[in-house]
Amino acid sequence: MKKLVLTIGCVLAVTGAAFAQGTINWSGISAAAFTTQTNSTVYSSLSPLFGGGAASSGITASIGNTVAGAGNWYAELLYLASGSQASPPTTLAALESWSDSGAEGTGAASAGRWATVGGTAGTVVPWSAGTTDSIVMVMWSANLGSTWAAAEAALNNWASDPIAGAFLGVSATGYITTLATSVSPGSTVFATAATAQGTPIDSLLTPLYALQVPEPTTMALSGLGGLALLLIRRRK
């Protein structure tokens, strides 16, 4: 009986280690390393999302209003398992390949700055302690939703239900190793130089790009096209 108990104890210990969670320092967002601003350049579709490719004006640095105000803007820290530091996603499909860490942010009172939501030193994230992953911040205007899940759903439904005045952006990436316990401050997420945990996010004046709403005629044509396809299928 003693041998059986010892065996079970070993299995539980190994299982716990395998599913351990790491920690990050989500107590604040450094304005020296991470700020944003809205960009008046409008892109004709959701791809490219963040400034890659050509815009109708050919300008990718035409600055509009600055970001300010809790509740007007939201952000989420995403992560990606990768053997080296990943590049920022430039399409919706690429963005959706990143996983949600659960660490949230919102616009701060000062223009361009961000604050953590419910964050503390030693905030737990879903990937194991000692694991090095790429990280990125995705940011959006409140009219897309107050959570990343809601904003993601709005983007996926954009063709049929676009939202006027919506903005979206993504920061530069980082590449950090999580720490083991919440007793420590956790891995540094935002900094202007490398730390003991790797390369934090360093992304000043990150543009948030306006997303263009399709013109009514374009939407009408798309609707007619879909109706025509439906009628053809019914006749067959």
40 against 199, higher pLDDT? 199
Q: Are 196 and 177 in contact (CB under 8 A)?
A: no
Per domain, the residue ranges of the chain are 20-230
- Among residues 199, 203, 201, the alpha carbon closest in space to that of 132 is found at 199
Q: How far apart are CA 116 and CA 27, in angstroms?
A: 7
148: pLDDT strictly greater than 80: yes
Distances in Å between the alpha carbon of 168 and those of 45, 141, 216?
12, 7, 22
Helix boundaries (H) for 43-147: 92-95
Helix boundaries (H) for 24-99: 92-95
Residue 9: band (very low, low, confident or very high) from pLDDT cuts 50, 70, 90? very low
Residue carrying the six token digits 């108990």: 5
Mean pLDDT to the nearest integer, 207-224: 64
CB neighbour list of residue 170: distance below 8 Å, 6 or more residues apart: 49, 50, 88, 89, 95, 136, 137, 138, 139, 206
Q: How far apart are CA 63 and CA 171, in angstroms?
A: 16
pLDDT of residue 35: 92
pLDDT digits (tens, 9 = 90+) for 87-125: 999 888 899 999 999 999 999 988 899 999 998 999 999
